[in-house]
Amino acid sequence: MFHSKNNNTFASSTLLTVYSMQLYNKLSAEERRTMIREAGKERLTISFYQYARLGNPELFRNHLFVAFDNLEVLGRIYVAHEGINAQLSIPADRFMEFKNFLDDIYFLKDIRLNIAREQDNESFLKLKVKVRNKIVADGLNDETFDVTNKGQHVNAEQFNALIEDPNTILVDMRNHYETEIGHFKNAWTPDVDTFRESLPIIENEIKQHKEDKKLVMYCTGGIRCEKASAYYKHKGFKDVYQLEGGIIEYHRQVTEKGLENKFRGKNFVFDQRLSEKIGDEVIANCHQCGEPCDTHTNCANDACHLLFIQCDSCKEKYENCCSQECNDIIQLPLEEQKKLRAGHYNSNNIFKKGKSEKLKFKKHV
């Protein structure tokens, strides 16, 4: 059960249980959606992460899948030698079972669980537990870099004070499509597609301030800026901080404690909801008509699926598509659509979220 620090050791009965059970999701999203609606249970959307040294990620992954499947967990969980990163949902009435299970794993005991402020029973429709090389892809191959030697964590009140300090450099560690709909006041939001791309860009831009400035970082739930804080400490930055629990936890604290909310707009999230409202201000624009809007959608054309910002008017006009071209395609019979996309690799469009040349009012940085 991964009780001890030697996580390669399992009781033989546990091993037999794991390998005799289903280890992969076999239901479609629509089948799962129907089951959720018929069950009529409220579900909680939760995220958590932990950097740790795992000897056998594959074995741990299988253990998690069996347990999570039994607990009716749905979501996306990544496991690697450096730890775990999880975004998931669970029936509210099974939350304590879920927490007790995590507490029985030595490096997850009393782990902070970021519970979404805006709930959606269908935020996740499948259970996916995958082994990855890293829980956050960073492009680094430096064996001397210790990801557990992290910067100082600060709460919402401390964060608010820090970012008003003129000696602070506030950096958003998220990607361009996330920061476009929401970010903290006075934050630097690098125009990047990936976390790995951001690390050298940020270092090069502020390297002259390793000694004289406070480097303060934030992200969605804390996982990216925690790795970044360790990286920049490794690179010689002396005064490094990160927002504990990220924007999700910040929102909870400012709401419950009545603190000033210094976040503008929405927080992008990586589930079916795509965002959570943090502030009342709309800081983005529809990528098709330019009207104020901060609602993301995925293009309805299966050969595209581009993520972009679309207002209700354009959503109706283009039928959830990013362009008239894609709208024309979805009018075709399904078999013709399949023929058109056969052999085409569309993940680059998905990867370049919001930057397609089809979008007239995309953000220019």
Mean pLDDT of 177-189: 93
* In a shared domain, residues 28 and 115: yes
In a domain, 139, yes or no: no
In a domain, 272, yes or no: no
* In a shared domain, residues 25 and 57: yes
The pLDDT score that the predictor gives to residue 119 is 78
% the chain with pLDDT above 90:
61
Model confidence at 217: pLDDT above 50: yes
At 241-275, the pLDDT tens digits run 999 999 999 999 999 999 999 999 999 988 778 88
At 306-339, the pLDDT tens digits run 899 999 999 999 999 999 999 999 999 988 888 8
* In a shared domain, residues 47 and 125: yes
Amino acid identity, position 250: Y
* In a shared domain, residues 126 and 161: no
β-pair partners for 90: 44
pLDDT tier at 61, thresholds 50, 70, 90: very high
Model confidence at 301: pLDDT above 70: yes
In a domain, 266, yes or no: no
* In a shared domain, residues 304 and 236: no
* In a shared domain, residues 126 and 162: no
In a domain, 80, yes or no: yes
* In a shared domain, residues 21 and 93: yes
Q: Please give the residue range of the domain that contains residue 335.
A: 284-351
- Tell which of 131, 161, 188 closes a domain: 131
- Tell which of 241, 257, 273 closes a domain: 257
Mean pLDDT of 12-35: 64
* In a shared domain, residues 165 and 253: yes
- In the residue annotation, 293 being an active-site residue is answered as no
* Among the ranges given (36-40, 213-217, 360-364), the one the predictor scored with the smallest mean pLDDT: 360-364
The pLDDT score that the predictor gives to residue 343 is 65
Catalytic residue among 219, 286, 299, 321: 219
In a domain, 262, yes or no: no
* In a shared domain, residues 290 and 331: yes
* In a shared domain, residues 23 and 110: yes
pLDDT tier at 345, thresholds 50, 70, 90: low
* In a shared domain, residues 157 and 105: no
- CATH number of the domain that residue 196 is part of: 3.40.250.10
In a domain, 16, yes or no: yes
Q: Is 236 left (phi over 0), alpha (psi -120 to 50) or beta?
A: left
What pairing do the DSSP bridges indicate for beta strands 214-218 and 182-184?
unpaired
- CATH number of the domain that residue 69 is part of: 3.30.70.100
How many domains does the chain contain in total? Answer: 3
In a domain, 208, yes or no: yes
The pLDDT score that the predictor gives to residue 201 is 94
- Distance (Å, whole) CA 74 – CA 129: 10
Model confidence at 14: pLDDT above 60: no
- Distance (Å, whole) CA 1 – CA 14: 7
- Distance (Å, whole) CA 91 – CA 82: 28
β-pair partners for 168: 214
* Among the ranges given (170-184, 275-289, 300-314, 350-364), the one the predictor scored with the smallest mean pLDDT: 350-364
In a domain, 308, yes or no: yes
Mean pLDDT of 191-211: 92
The pLDDT score that the predictor gives to residue 354 is 60
* In a shared domain, residues 43 and 80: yes
Show the beta-strand stretches assigned E in the chain.
43-51, 74-80, 83-91, 114-115, 127-131, 152-154, 168-172, 182-184, 214-218, 240-243, 263-268, 275-277, 296-298, 307-309
